[in-house]
C-alpha cells in the first residue's frame, strides 16, 4: 500500500499520520525536535506538529526560548515521530525557516484564550523563581486582557522544518526492520533503502 505513494514522502507521511491519529492513544502529533547551539551542543525536546504540507513540518514556540535561540544560531534541525501503536517512526532533517506572520497569526488565534495568555506570561526557558510567581503573572495578565483581544506576541512565532531527508522506519520481526530513505533531488525526491 505504501509503495503507491513512494515518489512523494509528504503523501506517505500524510497516510501514516492519518493512521497514527486513529491508533495513538495520546498526541500523535508529538515529535522530538533536535537542534544545536552556536557551539554545536545539541538539545532535544518534544513539540507538537501544527501543520504539514509539501513545504515541510510546522511548529510554534517562543523565539526567545532555548530552541528559538538555537534555531537562530544554526537553522538546521531534525525531528522524529514515534508511533508505538503502529511500530513506526518517521525522521526528517533539514533547514528551519520562520513561517509567514499571517500564518502564525492565524494559528495563534486558533488557540484557546488561556493558552494565548500563557504565551504572554511565559519567559520560556528562562529561570523561574517559583511556580507561584508564574501563576501570579498569569493571573495579572488575565486581568489586563479582560475584554481585550489577546494578540500574538512578537516573540511567539512559527517555524517550518523544510526537509532534505525523510526516513520511514517500520518494525519487522527479528529486528529486520524496513528503513526507506527519501532524499531531496532538485524539485523531487529519490528513494532508497537502508540496512536496519
What are the grid coordinates assigned to 58, written together? 510546522
What is the extent of the structural domain holding 70?
A: 2-112+153-194
Q: Write the DSSP string, 57-80.
A: EEEEEETTSHHHHHHHH--EEEEE
119-137 tens-digit pLDDT: 999 998 889 999 999 999 9
Residue 89 has pLDDT above 90, yes or no: yes
Q: How confident is the model at residue 2 (pLDDT cuts 50, 70, 90)?
A: very low
Q: How confident is the model at residue 7 (pLDDT cuts 50, 70, 90)?
A: confident
Total domains, the chain: 1
Is residue 146 a part of any domain in this protein?
A: no
Average pLDDT over residues 56-73: 96
Q: Pick the catalytic residue from 126, 165, 175, 179.
A: 175
Cα–Cα distance, 34 to 16 (Å, whole number): 22
Is residue 6 a part of any domain in this protein?
A: yes
Strands 178-185 and 188-194: antiparallel
Is residue 124 a part of any domain in this protein?
A: no
170-195 tens-digit pLDDT: 999 999 999 999 999 998 999 999 99
Is residue 140 a part of any domain in this protein?
A: no
Q: Which residues of 77-116 are buried (b: 16+ CB within 10 A; e: fewer)?
A: bbbbbbbeebebbbbbbbebeebeeebbeebbeebeeeeb
pTM of the full predicted structure?
0.92
Cα–Cα distance, 15 to 57 (Å, whole number): 15
Q: What's the CATH code of the domain at 78?
A: 2.30.110.10
Residue 160 has pLDDT above 80, yes or no: yes
Q: Is 175 a catalytic residue?
A: yes
Amino acid at each position: 500500500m505504501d509503495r503507491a505513494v513512494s515518489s512523494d514522502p509528504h503523501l506517505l507521511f500524510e497516510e501514516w499520520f492519518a493512521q497514527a491519529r486513529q491508533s495513538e492513544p495520546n498526541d500523535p502529533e508529538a515529535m522530538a525536535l533536535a537542534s544545536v547551539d552556536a557551539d554545536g551542543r545539541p538539545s532535544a525536546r518534544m513539540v507538537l506538529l501544527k501543520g504539514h504540507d509539501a513545504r515541510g513540518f510546522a511548529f510554534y514556540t517562543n523565539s526567545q526560548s532555548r530552541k528559538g535561540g538555537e534555531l537562530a544560531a544554526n537553522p538546521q534541525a531534525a525531528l522524529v515521530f514515534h508511533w508505538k501503536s503502529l511500530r513506526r517512526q518517521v525522521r526528517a532533517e533539514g533547514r528551519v525557516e520562520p513561517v509567514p506572520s499571517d500564518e502564525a497569526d492565524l494559528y495563534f488565534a486558533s488557540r484557546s484564550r488561556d493558552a494565548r495568555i500563557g504565551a504572554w506570561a511565559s519567559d520560556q526557558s528562562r529561570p523561574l523563581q517559583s511556580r507561584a510567581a508564574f501563576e501570579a503573572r498569569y493571573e495579572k495578565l488575565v486581568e489586563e486582557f479582560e475584554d481585550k483581544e489577546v494578540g500574538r506576541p512578537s516573540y511567539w512565532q512559527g517555524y517550518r522544518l523544510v526537509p532534505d531527508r525523510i526516513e520511514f522506519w517500520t518494525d519487522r520481526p527479528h529486528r529486520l526492520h524496513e528503513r526507506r530513505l527519501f532524499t531531496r533531488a532538485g524539485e523531487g525526491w529519490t528513494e532508497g533503502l537502508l540496512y536496519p
